[in-house]
Amino acid sequence: MSVELDVFVGNTTIMDEEVYQLWLDGYTVNDAVKVRMEGGVMDECEASKDVLLSDTMDQYRTFQMCERLLHSPAKLANQLLFQIPPHRQIMLIERYYAFDDTFVREVLGKKLSKGTKKDLDDISAKTGVTLKSCRRQFDNFKRVFKVVEELKGPLVENIRQHFLLSDKLARDYAAIVFFANNRFETGKRKLQYLSFQDFAFCAGQLISNWTVGAVGESSIDPSYNMVEDMDVDLDKEFLQELKELKILITDKDLLDQHKSLVCTALRGKTKVFPEMETSFKNLSRGLINIAAKLTNTKDVRDFFIDLVEKFIEPCRSDRWTAADMKLYLTHYTNSAHILDTFKHQVVWDRYMGVVKSCIFKMYHD
Amino acid sequence: MPGKLKAKIVAGRHLPVMDRASDLTDAFVEVKFGNTTFKTDVCPKSLNPQWNSEWFKFEVDDEDLQDEPLQITVLDHDTYSANDAIGKVYIDIDPLLYSEAASVISGWFPIYDTIHGIRGEINVIVKVELFNDLNRFRQSSCGVKFFCTTCIPQCYRATLVHGFVEELVVNEDPEYQWIDRIRTPRASNEARQRLISLMSGELQRKIGLKVLEMGGNAVVGYLQCFDLEGESGLVVRAIGTACTLDKLSSGSAPNTNTHMHPNTAPASNACNSPSKDGKEPVFVEDLPSSSGPPTPFRALPTSSSSPPPFSPSKPCSRQSSSSDTDLSLTPKTGMGSGGSAGKEAGPLRTLLRQQTQTALEQRGASSSGLLLNAREFPFFTLTSFPPGFLLHVGGVVSARSVKLLDRIHNPALGNTRSYKLLDWNSVTADEPETRDAWWEEIRQEIKSHARALGCHAVVGYSESTSICEEVCILSASGTAAILNPRYMREGCLDIGCTDHRFEDPSPPSCGFCHIPYDELNMPFPAQLTYCYHCRRQKVPDVLFTTIDLPSEAAVAGKGCLIQARLCRLKKKAQGETNATAISNLLPFMEYELHTQLMNKLKLRSMNALFGLHIQISVGENMLLGLASATGVYLTALPAPGGIQIAGKTPGDLSNEHISSIQKRINDTIAVNKELYQINPPELAEEGVGSPIPEPRHRSRLFRSHSESSDELSELDLSHGKKDAFVLEIDDTDAVEDIHSLLIDAPPPTGFYSCNTENMPGISNWTSGVQMFTSVRVLRLSNANLTNQGLNKIFTDLCENLLKSFYFKLRSMIPCCLCHLNFTVAVPEEELIQVTVTAVAMTYDKEQTQEKTAEKPVNKGSLEAEEQLQFPLELCADSSSSNIQTASKISGVAESTNISPRAASVDYGSFADRCSTWLELLRLKAHTIRRGSVKTSRRTQSLAHSVSSLERCSPLQEGRSRSLRSSRSFGGSSVTVVKMTPLSFLPGIRIIKYLGIINMFFIRETTSLREEGGVSGFLHSFIAEVFAMVRAHVAALGGNAVVSYSMKECVFMENPNKNQAQCLINVSGDAVICISETDQESSASTANTGQTGGGGTDGAT
């Protein structure tokens, strides 16, 4: 005797958030039943294991049928097959597109290709996220990437509108897309201490300051905006202009002047002043060299590793505190304005603004 | 008479990719009506095409408009090969044909393909211009409104109820034609869908004609069914109740207060006043004097110049052909066949024969005085009635007949229009007259049963079939009743039983329980007592009915779903042998089902069943019986006695064992009493020593009368000797039976369940509504199962389903599963299929508890009264305190005495069983003749009470609650469409009926595994069906479906071939409804509205 067929269909589609999460997390039906039993649902309604199994299967089926719609969330609102109240739709979408930070950390900056997808089982083993869930998350990244790649306009807004995601999630996806597009290196051992949120913050900074769209309204010809991908790619012109900053380290006078200005401002304000004074030139060279090399795609990829190697690590070995760092970079940036022979203030600000906030974010253990 | 149909194809969306190369589709649309086809332009390379076509115009007869659906086919244009079909939409034009309903159909329809399911959506606008001359219809019956609802629809008023209408149409099933071997499954499915659509249209038109002929303008309680007879064809049949309905003035309706107290209601209410609340069906005639409050509700006969609201159902059937003799199978031995039966059936058979004879004699005698036209069926498909309509209820009458389906090779009849439309039809066609004759026979049977119960009408009437191979069981059942003679047109119904009793004003809360039959000449032995309510008239000890609980009935506590389940193995056989075997099993099954029902009823300490529906399904090697009903404690009836266990042979089973079982039973009864809050005026146990032996004595006395008038007297002797329902244990079977009794787990806290429209004891609905359909199929792996084993499996199946529902819907607690409709089938030899459709509705527990908490203040005897008044009270003014409740209770307090019941069931032998069983099952009415087995049983009376303008039913109360929720889908274009099998939605008022939804779909797959197996396949199909129903309703401008039902869900699979097929037929009434709070309404409505806010989550 066996149950051959067992379905339950409600006019309003019934979805249990807990089961949805289990499904998203890639639990098999049997594992999900176990988890639910341990969770104590059974006591709620005098249910037996069979009841739980039947319910879980039903829900899994429903989710599978919904999955197709979730791939283009806008459809969910005007499809006719499932009657789902709006707040539920939002929940379904938000959770479907949610991801594990540990997982995304592994694929961040990697090409969203078949090759990467093949490595998902390794990532799954490493992160403890089930392979099924990894696949879903990876496919989500890829899907979002594919859609926004072809769209014009602000990246975050595009993601939010096309995938009906919350602002926070849309920003995270923007970061993922941005990293994937520019293939930033994030996997090196030295970068391991950085969390996805650190990178997401930096990505946000880069997107809003270094891309074409970033300065769209203000400085650049609006008609030009309309034709280019604005948010996904870094502003080439700006990257070119960054080369000009080299003068700060190549011109001996400027370098010295800069150093003395900074040192004057810092003196007495921090315990690590001597170290700052000694390493000023090295640090300045590091930052300016990073800027100057950004025209090379290869070096763009290494942006974060460079920041760590050329700046963060030396500082850390000198035992700078986060406050020291803040102090130093603020004065370092501002002092350049006083240099009368330095003409590239706008580019300098645009560069340092981002670098400063990225380093602040990245300067932790 | 012509009309012009206009259709415009606007756009498509979410179309499937038809061209793999480009990942796009070049879609165009064919619009077909009758034999005319139009095409749109091709909209190249788009999955969201905008056609914006011209108006395609069809000039057609309105006859065609009624029969034919508009057929819209979406195709993918292909330059080199044949165009690929994406899918179709069938649009029923009918709702556009009557003036008050929808004026336009416009909206997004799912594009449906029988192989792939829904594939995108299409936006269509349809209009009809009728060239009006509504009086001269010949073939068409445009303008007759159809309702699935089995009560007078809200916002209408019945001025006349004409009576029973029925019709059936027969055709050959395209699936079984030779051409099916060469055409694709898709073509075959589409031919079938189209044929059934045509046949339903034709059927509806024909019924409409009959209604017009009778002078009516509407059919209420329209019940259409399909019989898929396989080789021998396809039958579409329908029954309904013809009425003349008046639409209540919509202008004034919204202003009226649902909860107006009768006292405050204007006197003019009674009749034509538009100020009467919109949903209250009002009869033109005044009700017989009422015992209610002194309403200013004087009769208006002056104003009711219209004819009495009852006109006889006209003889409206065709000549009945005599050809049925060819078909009726089985022993020509007739009644005598019983005697030849051997084996275990022996004693029963003998008994049967005796009883049959007596029954016949009796019937002959009693019917001699009747002058009813043989063709006239005083049947009503309605299950709830306007106040004053139903006087007394006699009990359930049912008839079953086993027939052999046989293909008749007649030349096709050219007279049916549908035939000419179907090119493949020239082969053979079944003769509708045969099926007609079968049903006529059954209806006659029912009618005579009703007459034997002293009743002149049958209410809550329904018909069904179960087919397996060439055997078909036809069943019909209803509730024998006496309707108010004042409503009858002269000579309409049997007047034989109108006696003086009916002149007595019966209190509304118990009148319907009073027996309609003559106590000195009872059609069956029963225990009568004086009504516990009014003390004036006799009531039976138990009451079984197929109708809904009248809203004014006095009940104690809450109701609950009671099911009897039964499996009987049967040898595989062919033809007549098979039919005979089935015929022989049927009475046993009915008997067992009733025993179970009765025991379970007692176990729950209840004394009446409403909404009783017994389904017997036939399979190749077994018969399944499932009886569902809602049990309730009627305070007018005596309290049920307990159940006593007795060992017949003490040696067999230890006394300990028996006493432990007895204890369990007693405990269960106690638990149930608490669970269902049954606190009748006085409990039976307490009554033992109390000075009320009188009723018992009286009934005893009465019994002796009945003995003298009943030839079966000797069988009744056992009755009076036992004080309680006794179950005797003398073999393991009996033990099993008792165990199975106790298996039924009570619903978890916070849940109640019923299978009727309103839940006895709950009326304060909040807005949460969740309609659902669930299907479960069980495969019996073990080939040599016993009856007992099967019973257990079947019972578990049903119980587990219920448990699953409770679990799934736990977020809605406190909630009630209403209208639980179980359908069983045996699709294949080792499969059992159970299909359930029901609605879960949330209610306000706070209010209930408030009431309960206050109870102890009142005397026990008042409690029942209070419970009765409680819904009324809530209606009247739910925001106010309950103080009024007590004040309302008056003068009935003395009716509190209850004597222990006496009856017995003995599990010892069949003979004994039958003797005691007579209380429940009227075996004497079993007749076996000419291959048909008909059984009938009686139960008791349900009478309708008079008056009660204050009929504030739970429904109405519920409706007053707010449902703000889910109107719009957060800016999306999809209208939320609520669905419910009930005739109402809580907190919502129906302002317009848009027409009947009657849809038939076939879905087939050849990639079962890929679609997620059978469950995945059926899950998506059911979801698709819901989606298509919702889309059609939304396109009509509606936002809800009431009286929704899934009439058919036939599932077939062939996992080895990776194939499955499923047929689903659904129906319901599309309506526009508005939240009670949406309208400007009186203060009290607003008040109640506020209390019912939450719970929109589950809102459908």
User: Which residues lie across from B106 on neighbouring strands?
Assistant: B125
Longest dimension (CA), chain B: 95
Mean of the pLDDT values across residues B651-665? 71
Q: Do B807 and A47 touch (CB under 8 A)?
A: yes
Whether residues B1031 and A46 touch (CB distance < 8 A) is answered with no
Instruction: Please report the pLDDT score of residue B1066 as a whole number.
Output: 94
Q: Rounded CA gap, B607 and B639, in Å?
A: 7
Q: Which of A337-341, B393-397, B558-562 has the lowest mean pLDDT?
A: A337-341
| Chain A: residue whose CA lies nearest to B1031 | A80
pLDDT at B104 over 70: yes
**Quick one: what percent of chain B has pLDDT higher than 90?**
24
- B222 versus B342: which is more confidently predicted? B222
User: Shortest Cα distance from B121 to chain A (angstroms)?
Assistant: 8
Q: Which residues of A touch B775 (CB under 8 A)?
A: 5-7
C-alpha of A23 from chain center: 25
A57, closest residue in chain B (CA to CA)? B1015
Q: Is the pLDDT of residue A7 over 50?
A: yes
Distance CA B708, CA B1070 (A): 55
| Residue in B804, B1012, B1016 nearest the CB of A51 | B804
- Mean pLDDT (whole number) for B396-413: 70
C-alpha A66/C-alpha B597 separation (Å) is: 42
Span B100-128, average pLDDT: 90
pLDDT per position as a tens digit, B115-151? 999 999 999 999 988 776 554 445 566 778 899 998 8
B432-448 b/e (C-beta count within 10 Å ≥ 16 → b): bbbbbbbbbbbbebbbb
Query: Please, which pLDDT band fits residue B736 given cuts at 50, 70 and 90?
Result: low
Q: Which residue has the higher pLDDT, A58 or A41?
A: A58
Whether B191 has a pLDDT exceeding 80, the answer reads: yes
CA distance B730 to B96: 65
Query: What pLDDT does B847 receive?
Result: 55
- To the nearest whole Å, the CA of B1015 is away from the closest chain A CA by 5
Q: Give the type of residue at B867.
A: Q
E strand map for B388-432: 390-404
Q: How far is residue B669's CA from residue B673's CA, in Å, rounded to a whole number?
A: 6
The answer to pTM > 0.95 is no
Cβ neighbours for B717, distance < 8 A, ≥ 6 positions apart:
none
Smallest CA–CA distance, residue B825 to chain A, in Å, is 14
Residue bearing the bigger pLDDT, B786 or B90:
B90
A172 Cα to chain B: minimum distance (Å): 25
Spatial strand order of the sheet with B390-404 comes to B390-404, B471-483, B457-468
Residues B217-226 have a mean pLDDT of 91
**Distance of residue B45 Cα from the nearest chain A Cα, in angstroms:** 19
Q: For residue A252, with 0-12 CB atoms within 10 Å meaning exposed, 13-18 middle and 19 or more buried, which class applies?
A: exposed
User: Which domains does chain A possess?
Assistant: 17-78 (no CATH), 101-210 (no CATH), 236-362 (1.10.490)
Least confident of A136-150, A235-249, B109-123: A235-249
For the residues B338-367, what does the mean pLDDT come to?
35
pLDDT of B726: 62
Q: How many percent of chain A have pLDDT more than 90?
A: 34
Q: Which of B775, B776, B1098 sits opposite A12 (nearest CB)?
A: B1098
- What confidence tier does B620 reach under pLDDT thresholds 50, 70, 90? confident
Helix (H, G, I), strand (E, B) or coil at B704: helix
What is the structure's pLDDT at B20?
82
Average of per-residue pLDDT across B515-541: 75
- CB nearest to A83's CB, from B779, B1019, B1100: B1100
- For A51, the closest chain B residue by CA position comes to B804
Under the banding of pLDDT at 50, 70 and 90, the label for residue A32 is very high
Rounded to whole angstroms, the Cα distance separating B466 from B623 reads: 10
Q: In this predicted model, what pLDDT tens digit does every residue of B942-976 receive, in sequence order?
A: 333 323 333 333 333 333 333 333 333 334 568 89
Most confident of B41-55, B335-349, B493-507, B860-874: B41-55
CA atoms of B1002 and B1062, how far apart (whole Å): 6
Task: Confirm if B1072 and B1038 have CB atoms less than 8 A apart.
Answer: yes
Asked if the model's pLDDT at residue B700 lies above 50, the reply is no
Cβ neighbors of A312 (< 8 A, separation 6 or more) are A359, A362, A363
In this complex, which of B121, B748, B1023 lies closest to A46 when CB atoms are compared?
B748
**Given the structure tokens 């209604």, which residue do they identify?**
B211
Distance of CA B136 to the CA centre of its chain: 35
pLDDT tens digits along B247-272: 876 544 333 333 333 333 333 333 33
Tell me what pLDDT residue B729 has.
61
Instruction: Kindly tell me the sign of the dihedral angle through the C-alpha atoms of B929, B612, B159, B139.
Output: negative
Q: Write the pLDDT tens digit of every residue in B200-210.
A: 988 998 898 88
**What is the SS3 assignment for B480-507?**
EEEECHHHCCCCCCCCCCCCHHHHCCCC
Q: How far is A59 from chain B (nearest CA, A)?
A: 10
Which of B93-107, B204-218, B592-606, B678-692 is predicted least confidently?
A: B678-692
pLDDT at residue B727 in the model: 64
Residue found under tokens 């005897």:
B861
Phi–psi pair at B554, nearest 5 degrees: -90, 120
Contact B776 A85 (CB under 8 A): no
Contact flag A1-B1022 (C-beta cutoff 8 Å): no
> pLDDT band for position B486 (50/70/90)?
low
Convert the pLDDT of each residue in A192-240 to its tens digit. Answer: 899 999 999 999 998 888 887 665 544 444 444 444 456 778 888 888 8
Residue, of B936 and B123, whose pLDDT is higher: B123
Give per-residue pLDDT as tens, A292-318.
888 888 888 899 999 999 889 988 888
* Separation of alpha carbons B773 and B837, rounded Å: 4
Q: What is the predicted ipTM?
A: 0.88
Q: How many CB atoms neighbour CB B261 within 10 A?
A: 18
- Determine the pLDDT at residue A48: 85
Q: Do B810 and A45 touch (CB under 8 A)?
A: yes
Q: Do residue A77 and residue B974 have CB atoms under 8 angstroms apart?
A: yes
**Cα–Cα dist B215/A98, whole Å:** 64
Cβ <8 Å between B775 and A5: yes
Contact flag B1051-A5 (C-beta cutoff 8 Å): yes
* Distance (Å) from the alpha carbon of B361 to chain A's nearest alpha carbon: 49
Q: Are the beta carbons of A10 and B771 separated by less than 8 Å?
A: yes
pLDDT (0 to 100) of residue B783: 64
Nearest alpha-carbon partner for B830 in B649, B622, B626: B622
Name the helix (H) or strand (E) containing B887: helix B883-888
Q: Which two tokens stand for residue B89?
A: 């939409």
CB pair distance less than 8 Å for A10 and B976: no
Inter-chain Cβ pairs, chain A and chain B, closer than 8 A: 154
- What is the DSSP-derived secondary structure letter of residue B50? B
Residues B278 and B154: beta-carbon distance below 8 Å:
yes
Which positions in chain A touch B774 (Cβ < 8 Å)? Answer: 7-9
Please judge whether A65 and B966 are an interchain contact, meaning their C-beta atoms are less than 8 angstroms apart: no
How much of chain B exceeds pLDDT 70, in percent?
60
Q: What is the SS3 assignment for B441?
A: helix
In degrees, rounded to 5, the angle at the alpha carbon of residue B998 between the alpha carbons of residues B983 and B54 is 120
CA distances B595 to B588, B589, B601, B602, Å, are 10, 10, 10, 11
Mean pLDDT of chain A: 87
**Residue B807 has which token pair?**
């679990």
* Chain A residues touching residue B803 (CB < 8 angstroms): 46-48, 51
Q: Who contacts B379 (Cβ-Cβ below 8 Å, separation ≥6)?
A: B163, B164, B239, B241, B313, B443, B446, B447, B457, B458, B459, B461, B478
Closest residue to B778, CB basis, from A3, A12, A64: A3
How are beta strands B104-113 and B117-130 bridged, if at all? Answer: antiparallel
Is the per-residue pLDDT at B856 higher than 70?
Answer: no
The pLDDT, as a whole number, for residue B342 is: 31
- Distance, in Å, from the CA atom of B65 to the CA atom of B208, rounded to the nearest integer, reads 13
The stretch B690-717 carries a mean pLDDT of 32
Nearest CA distance, B564 vs chain A (angstrom):
21
Nearest by Cα to B933 from B430, B382, B246, B398:
B398
Give the mean model confidence (pLDDT) for residues B1047-1064.
Answer: 89
Mean pLDDT of chain B: 69
Sequence-separated (6 or more) residues with CB below 8 Å from residue B974:
A77, A78, A79, A80, A83, B108, B1034
Which residue of chain B has the CA closest to A46? B748
DSSP string of B1005-1044, one letter each residue: ES-TTTTTHHHHHHHHHHHHHHHHHHHHHHHTT--EEEEE
Whether A242 has a pLDDT exceeding 70, the answer reads yes
- Phi, psi dihedrals of residue B1024, rounded to the nearest 5°: -65, -40
The band of A190, judged by pLDDT with boundaries at 50, 70 and 90, is confident
Burial class of residue A83 in the structure, from the number of CB atoms within 10 Å of its CB (0-12 exposed, 13-18 middle, 19+ buried): buried
Q: Which residues of A touch B782 (CB under 8 A)?
A: 1
CA angle B952, B955, B960 (to 5 degrees): 85
Instruction: Give the bridge partners for B1075, in sequence order.
Output: B988
- Picking from A5, A9, A52, the nearest residue to B773 by CB comes out as A9
Out of A5, A9, A55, the one facing B1014 most closely (by C-beta) is A5
Q: What are the residues of chain A with a beta carbon less than 8 Å away from any beta carbon of chain B? A: 1-14, 44-48, 50-52, 54-55, 57-58, 61-62, 64-65, 75, 77-83, 85-87, 89
pLDDT class of B160 with cuts at 50, 70, 90: confident
Which among B540, B513, B536, B546 is positioned nearest to B525, based on CA atoms? Answer: B540
- Residue B923 CA to residue B933 CA, distance in Å, equals 12
> What's the Cα-to-Cα distance from B708 to each of B359, B702, B711, rounded to whole Å?
15, 10, 7
Out of B24-28, B293-297, B586-590, which region has the weakest mean confidence (pLDDT)?
B293-297
> Residue B646: in which H helix or E strand, if any?
strand B643-647
pLDDT in tens, B426-479: 334 445 567 888 898 899 999 888 888 888 889 999 999 998 888 899 999 999
DSSP string across A33-45 = HHHHHHHTHHHHT
In Å, how far from its chain's centre is CA A144? 13
Which residue among B808, B977, B1024 sits closest to A81, beta carbon to beta carbon? B1024
